[in-house]
Amino acid sequence: MSSQPEELTIQTHALRLAARAWGPPDGVPVLALHGWLDNAASFDTLAPRLPGLRLVCLDMPGHGHSEHAAPGELYGFVDTVARVAEVPRVLGWARYCLLGHSLGAAVASVLAGTFPRQVRRLVLVEGLGPMVEAPEQAPARLARSITEQLARRGRPAPRYASAEEAAERLRRAVGTLSAEGARALVGRGLCAVEGGVTWRSDPRLRVASRLRLTEAQVLAFLRAVEAPTLLVRGAQGYPETPALHQRLAAVRDIATVTLPGGHHVHLDAPEPVAEAIAAFLAPEHAGPG
């Protein structure tokens, strides 16, 4: 795969989205979705190790170089799924593979359950479905979301004296992110402002969601997934829980692999992750499944 990505602009119905595309245009089509507050550079160390793919790494709505939502709008989970669902259509992909990390894995897993016949294979890194809440928690969540949105109006974005300071703050916040990984995310995620640098991402991404899906709804989406699925976990990443086992049981064809690393295992330890993904996607090089 080429060591230099191609920058894309993808115009959807509502937003102009940015992406980094790796590999030949006739390669196996893979849409890659990064995690919350990250950007397309999340896959910069992984992509060159996956030859034969047309790997389009999206800046999710409101992240990186992608356009922010209109005034008054937020980034609810199902709205994000709907916005991302437009991208393969704009690219002219009838059937494609999905690769997602964290929030991107949550979006990918629900998208694969929403349009199961479109998704050829599904690769999830440190995530299987979104965060959930019980129905009785909905009133408090909506109140919190509205309160946070009003409080953020006019609040200045955080500024840093340098990219190095921003990278160090990011590493401290994540806890398990390597210096190389932080530099990759910062390199695409910052813009210059008076007195230093700040994040390009929309501050509204930090506002609490209006509502969350219930666990029953998430399980329904996972049961609808038809694509063979691979879940890659970092040994020091998200913990193993009864809820995870329940979700794994809901997916009809899923394999799991646990590799040394933290939540950003794909960024910090790309070689073993790339090996696992390449082996899983190998049947696609023979033609659509």
Residue 3, amino acid: S
- Return the structure tokens found at 255: 């394999």
Type of residue at 127: G
**Catalytic entry in 66, 102, 109, 201:** 102
Which residue(s) pair with 155 in the sheet? none
What's the angle, vertex CA 191, arms to CA 187 and CA 192, rounded to 5? 120
Is 201 assigned a catalytic role?
Answer: no
Tokens of 49: 């190790």
The two structure tokens encoding residue 119: 């998704």
Q: What angle do CA 37, 102, 165 make, to 5 degrees?
A: 35
Distance, C-alpha 173 to centroid of its chain = 18
Residue 73 corresponds to which tokens in the numbers above? Answer: 């709008």
CA–CA gap between residue 60 and residue 132 (Å, rounded): 21
Alpha helices in 153-214 (DSSP H): 163-174, 179-189
Q: Edge to edge, what strands does the sheet with 6-11 contain? A: 6-11, 16-22, 53-58, 28-33, 96-101, 119-125, 229-234, 254-259
Q: Catalytic site residues? A: 102
